[in-house]
Amino acid sequence: MALSRRTFSALAGSAALGFALGGSGGPGAPSAYAARSVPTGPAPAPPSADGQRHTIGYDHHSLVVDGRRLVVWSGEMHPFRLPSPSLWRDVLEKMRAHGYNTVSIYAAWNYHSPAPGAYDFTGVRDLDLFLRTAAETGLYVIVRPGPYINAEVDAGGFPGWLTATEGTARTTDPTYLGHVDEWLTAVNRIVRRHQFTDGGGSVLLYQIENEYDGHVTDPTGPAYMSHLYKKVRADGIDVPLFHNDKGRNGYWVPGSFDTGGEKGKWLYGFDGYPSPSQTPPDWGDFGIGGLKGGATASPHTPGFVPEFGGGWFDPWGGVEFGGKGYAGSRLTRDAAYERRFYLTNLANGITLHNVYMTYGGTSWGWLPAPVVYTSYDYGAAIDEARNVTTKIAPMHQLGHLLQRVPDFAKLERAADVHVPGLKAYHLTNPDTGSHVYVLRNDGTTEVKSTLRTAAGDDVEVTVPATDARLLTTQLALGERTLRYCTAQPAFVLTAGRQDIALFTGRYGEMAHLVLESPSEPFVQRIDAEAAWVYDQDVLHVTVPLGVGGLTRVLVQRGDSDTPLLLLFAADGTSMRLFPYDTPSGTVLVYGPTLLRHARLRGDTVELTGDTTVETGLEVWGPRGITSVTWNGQPVRTRVSLAGSLVSEINLAGAPKVTLPVLDGWRRKTENPESAAGFDDAKWTVADKKTTFSTTPVPKGRPVLFADDYGFHYGDVWYRGRIEDDSLVDLESVSLAYSTGTQGMLMAWLDGKPLGSHRMPVPDAKTVRQGSWTATAEFPVTGPKTKKEREKAEEKRSHVLSVLVRRMQHDMDGKSVDTQKAARGLTTVTFKGASPTVSWRIQGAGAPDPVRGPQNNGGLYGEREGWHLPGLADGAWESAGLPRADQGMGVTWYRTGFRLAVPDGVDASVGLVLEDDPARAYRVQIFLNGWNLGQYINDVGPQHSFVLPNGILRTRGANTLALAVLGDGTTEIGPGSVRLELLGSAAGGVRVDSVDSPGR
């Protein structure tokens, strides 16, 4: 919401982080700190590619970076799910601004390797650029390159070509390890240049494998893990390594496999995706303990959750969230869920916490695994269109708290407390004497209760239904001490001549803060909502949170010469308070939607960021700051009562963005492959007798599996030629096939449609099923008269044409090579005839050199470039939408449109497809040649497809192409096709065009 003039009456802020202490030992040597206690103190400065040597150590409590304790508050994003490198910076800057100090990424082998020995790290695959951008943003990086990643991507990240090779994956099979070593050599050549230990970048941790539990109890597993460990070290990776246990099993704790004699550089981590309907689990100090107890499985390493649920994925048909899609995920795993579950983790000693996902993005092209559709929004805190949602509030508050209040890096379990109606956790910092209480309400009604603190205070607390609250006592607020506060601290920092502390909670709650003060202070109630009283050596302050926006109370004199500015904010307001560290000190900014950068130049603080609506601006910085610029323009300011600089004129919001109507469509039918006379002489002969697939080959029949012939992504065509054999008595044709979820086929005999078949929509029991098999039997109507029979008997040559939408490979979560299950036809049989058939197969052409192998499939239009912007389509038929076409096959639609988004505006645009859900058809969406997803009209739930800027030219011409597959069972569309504004902001980042060849 806009910030009122009254709201901007004061504040002040900055927290100068101390300089990083140089650690003893070599780069990444945890042993430098393992043998001695590390005291509580300021966190290390944000990382950068500074060229300096750094140490990364750990003990039971936390990581120790350059001698200082670090709590890792990380968010997961995948560069490959945002195919516009300019936008990586946008998401990373949003993460940093909202409290994250780390980003965790997968590097997907299949995304970078189109063929054995070929590796592409250019363009949208530029891992080096991503790691540079993260360091420039001030974020640590956790790198997770597999070789297996799962991640709901095709084959769990294994390249398509690997599915047709010899060797059992995720074992010590020498053929498999040979391919793995090639991949690791290629990716590690980049990663090692960006390690924090030698100042090349900000890579902090490195994961080997992913949720590997297939061979834990036999020698294969430890030998495989040992091989990966030694290979990564041999490649020059010297930061601490880890693995993520799929559950709380105690798998791969330190000492469970041979590390070549290296000790003290391996972390145990475990993943967790508890349901919001469950009670938040104790996976640490308050839990069951032992190998099944989560963090307690490795008592000498810090509690580490490499993946904790920030949402959940949705299957085709949307059964997971009742057809509501990821909006349904965001409803159930909301901000209250985050407080309940993440605060429980914090109470259990988890100080390395990665939220999967923080930005989900798009599984564009043929990237998605069978279990998901195109969108991978995940219900994350930052949605697929890069909009920050209300789920960011707990992340923002906790992230800044953990970075700027060092007490949380070293908490130990304290005496149990009883709070009627609530689950209570009590922790304390042994160095500072501060206390932390997590109070959780697992019930369905609000609870009002009383907490007896360690100091003997009775604190009245209210916790809403299915929510949680964090309270602190005896916490240092700069030079003063907090007795207690019923609102949660969000940060404590020092700016110029004053300390600043922010306290947050739900809108309308009454915050009660008690500050120790042996002598009476001078208190200024800067905003009218606050009330205060001094009594018996303590200062009481009460504030209704959110009423009037930000509430400020300035405390001076008393027992300290340093003023303390107390800030109180409801969730929405707190999300617009941004601390930012500069070499000269911390800048605190209040007002805009986002702060991207702050730089001090002389007496001016130069700010860049985003606004969505008209808003005020308030800035605190080091002493001597007298002026402010916003996105390069000077801002007229005045000095507030609290020493801040307050804008006298509001910053403008985002201007209106107008989108064009999509019209001028041109249309052309394809699938000439179905015709009997089609020339398939250049197609691949399908006559192999053996395969490395896990699917058996029917005895006496050829291998028809698409992967065996080099066709790994998208649609595949088959043509079976029958020579010198009459089919006059043929009764039916049976086509057995194997696909991923929602696979389908269409068949023609001598150019006449036999029919279509599709796999069922997943239900609650089959949402995790990755491979589907079925046999489609099509009856054949024989000749009815003697003359027709004689004519049929004369025909001795026939062609059976089959188009299979194979969908994607299964993932190999159980380490049994499920990614090698066949895709495409598996066998063809005839009833009433026994012809000999010679088969040819055709899938995608050569991989697009820019867009990559996952962009294209084997449709005729794809092979001929009908999806590309350079195509001359003037001879195509003019067409209007909506359509009501009949028949089985493939039809293409193309149109162009121009956008004129105002300069300096970040507009996120989507393509929306809607139609009568009874109409059975599907659409492949191509924007400027990029395959941005698949729409299945009668299945859903996805109707809106994000068009990423860079691929979408927001100031220029665009080409949209739709490949429509109709199965012949109903009328087909498209129906309504329109552009939709998904979000806009004044500001944003510079976006470079992701250009590609036109043909």
pLDDT tens per residue across span 951-962: 999 999 999 999
- Candidates 800, 796, 798, 818; CA nearest to 809 is 818
| Residues in CB range of 587: below 8 A, 6 or more apart | 13, 14, 579, 580, 581, 598, 600, 605, 607, 619, 620, 621, 622
State percent of the chain over pLDDT 90.
Answer: 93
By mean pLDDT, which of 3-7, 489-493, 613-617 is the weakest?
3-7
DSSP SS3 for 171: coil
Token pair recorded at residue 418 = 């009883």
Note the pLDDT of residue 445. 98
Does residue 899 register a pLDDT over 70? yes
Q: What is the pLDDT of residues 466-513, one digit of tens each?
A: 999 999 999 999 999 999 999 999 999 998 889 999 999 999 999 999
Measured CA to CA, the distance from residue 932 to residue 791 in angstroms comes to 48
Average pLDDT of every residue of the chain: 94
- Alpha carbon separation from 913 to 432, 654, 948, 957 (Å, rounded): 58, 26, 17, 21
Lowest pLDDT segment from 452-456, 636-640, 781-785, 994-998: 994-998
Tens digit of each residue's pLDDT (9 = 90 or more) over 673-729: 999 999 999 999 999 999 999 999 999 999 999 999 999 999 999 999 998 777 888
Torsion from C-alpha of 382, 388, 391, 393, nearest 10 degrees:
130
Identify residue 56 by its one-letter amino acid code.
Answer: I
Task: For residue 391, report the phi and psi dihedrals to the nearest 5 degrees.
Answer: -65, -15
Q: How many angstroms separate the CA atoms of 888 and 866, rounded?
A: 19
pLDDT at site 559: 87
Q: Could you give the CA distance from residue 544 to residue 486 in angstroms, rounded to a whole number?
A: 12
Q: What is the CA radius of gyration of the chain?
A: 31
Question: Residue 5 — pLDDT band, cuts 50, 70, 90?
Answer: very low
pLDDT at 787 over 80: no
Name residues whose C-beta falls within 8 Å of residue 798's C-beta, 6 or more positions apart in sequence: 676, 721, 722, 725, 727, 749, 750, 835
With residues binned 3-state (H G I as helix, E B as strand, rest as coil), the percentages for the chain, rounded to 5, are 15, 35, 50
Give residue-wise pLDDT tens across range 565-596.
Answer: 999 999 999 999 999 999 999 999 999 999 99
539: Cα separation from own chain's centroid: 45
Q: Which residue has the tokens 């560069």?
A: 79
Say yes or no to pLDDT of 27 above 80. Answer: no
Report whether 15 contacts 46 (CB < 8 A): no
pLDDT at 366 over 70: yes
pLDDT at 8 over 90: no
- Give the separation between CA 856 and CA 846, rounded to whole angstroms: 9
Look at residue 655 and tell me whether its pLDDT is greater than 50. Answer: yes
- Residues of the chain with pLDDT > 70, as a percent, come to 95
**Rounded to two decimals, what is the model's pTM?**
0.95
Distance of CA 578 to the CA centre of its chain: 23
Q: Chain-centre distance of CA 760, in angstroms?
A: 28
Rounded to 10 deg, the angle between the 335-347 and 392-404 helix axes is 30
Provide the pLDDT for residue 496.
83
Q: What is the pLDDT of residues 377-410, one digit of tens each?
A: 999 999 999 999 999 999 999 999 999 999 999 9
Q: What is residue 726's predicted lDDT score, i.e. its pLDDT?
A: 79
Q: pLDDT digits over 209-260, tens only?
A: 999 999 999 999 999 999 999 999 999 999 999 999 999 999 999 999 999 9
Report the pLDDT value the prediction gives residue 548, as an integer from 0 to 100.
Answer: 87
Q: Is the pLDDT of residue 1 over 50?
A: no
CA dihedral (671, 676, 678, 680) positive or negative: positive
Side-chain half-sphere exposure of 611, counting CA atoms within 13 A: 23
The HSE-up count of residue 91 (CA atoms within 13 Å, CB side) is: 33
| pLDDT tens-digit series, residues 283-321 | 999 999 999 999 999 999 999 999 999 999 999 999 999
Q: Using pLDDT thresholds of 50, 70 and 90, give the confidence band for residue 788.
A: low
> If you average pLDDT over residues 10-34, what whole number do you get?
32
Residue 142 has pLDDT above 80, yes or no: yes
Q: Which amino acid is at 856?
A: N
pLDDT higher than 90, residue 111:
yes
Residue 936 makes CB contacts below 8 A (sequence gap 6+) with: 316, 373, 742, 922
Report how far residue 674's alpha carbon sits from residue 153's, in angstroms, rounded to the nearest whole number. 31
| Contact criterion met (CB below 8 Å) for 918 and 984 | no
Is 854 a residue whose pLDDT tops 60?
yes
Closest CA to 926 of 989, 986, 875, 977: 977
Task: Quick: pLDDT tens for 939-986.
Answer: 999 999 999 999 999 999 999 999 999 999 999 999 999 999 999 999
